[in-house]
Structure 1
């Protein structure tokens, strides 16, 4: 068994695909419109779905905004250098909401960025 994907509902699919591919460096793996259901699914990730977990971006055509809710935490992405990743993300137009640095009460170096819908993504340097 393995985790296949995590799904996020997004208000603007093109803006979200651009963020995850151009700012975070993922690849658009597949995309399909479902006209009868009035939604589109786009899968992004860092490798093919046979071997890697993907992120499913769900765009309901009649909804442009969602409440994030109090139960949502974050997506975590491993990077080699959190400081360099934040520089690259900022220069690509991304929004760093927690500057890189040590984790409170821990040793890990991390940072947080937000996608166009306000979802938080943790950048974590694993040692």
Structure 2
């Protein structure tokens, strides 16, 4: 029996704002969308155009209050081929929420408060 990663899910309050954030911050593009027939939810799948892994953003029509992310101990992690340029870009965007300079990583915060870890490719 074999399993492969397919996608991760984040629930979001403002779907278009989140899609725009992930495009600007990470270059992720919407590759698929599913609209519920009754309008109760929308699923947007974002891809990096390099791997098959997707980030599913779920928007629920009746949800008005922010999601409880607990202590934000879970996160998505991505690697970049130009860590310094990515850092400068995210600094300019104002979305860096935590830095661990000894480990050579940092985290950005999306519009709903989810953390995304930014890692350099190992040389």
Shorter-chain TM-score range: 0.7 to 0.9
Query: Aligned runs of 1:33-52 on 2, under 5 Å?
Result: 33-36=35-38, 38-47=40-49, 51-52=51-52
Distance 2:102 2:82 in 1: 13
Query: Are 2:8 and 1:3 aligned?
Result: no
Give how far 1:21 is off: 1.1
Number of the residue aligned with 1:117: 112
Report the TM-score, using the length of structure 2 for normalisation: 0.85
Secondary structure of residue in 2 paired with 1:29? strand
Number of residue pairs aligned between Structure 1 and Structure 2: 119
- Structure 2 contact 83–119 (Cα < 8 Å) conserved: yes
RMSD: 1.9
- Structure 1 contact 83–100 (Cα < 8 Å) conserved: no
Give how far 1:23 is off: 2.0
- Structure 2 contact 72–114 (Cα < 8 Å) conserved: no
* Consecutive unaligned residues in structure 2, runs of 5 or more: none
Query: Are 2:23 and 1:21 aligned?
Result: yes
* Consecutive unaligned residues in structure 1, runs of 5 or more: 104-108
Distance 2:52 2:39 in 1: 28
Give how far 1:84 is off: 1.6
Distance 2:80 2:20 in 1: 19
- Structure 1 contact 7–55 (Cα < 8 Å) conserved: yes
Per-residue CA deviation, residues 17-68 of structure 1 (Å, 9 max, x unaligned), is 00111221111111121142600000001027xx510000000011132111
Distance 2:73 2:56 in 1: 16
Runs of 4+ in 1 over 6 A off after TM superposition: none
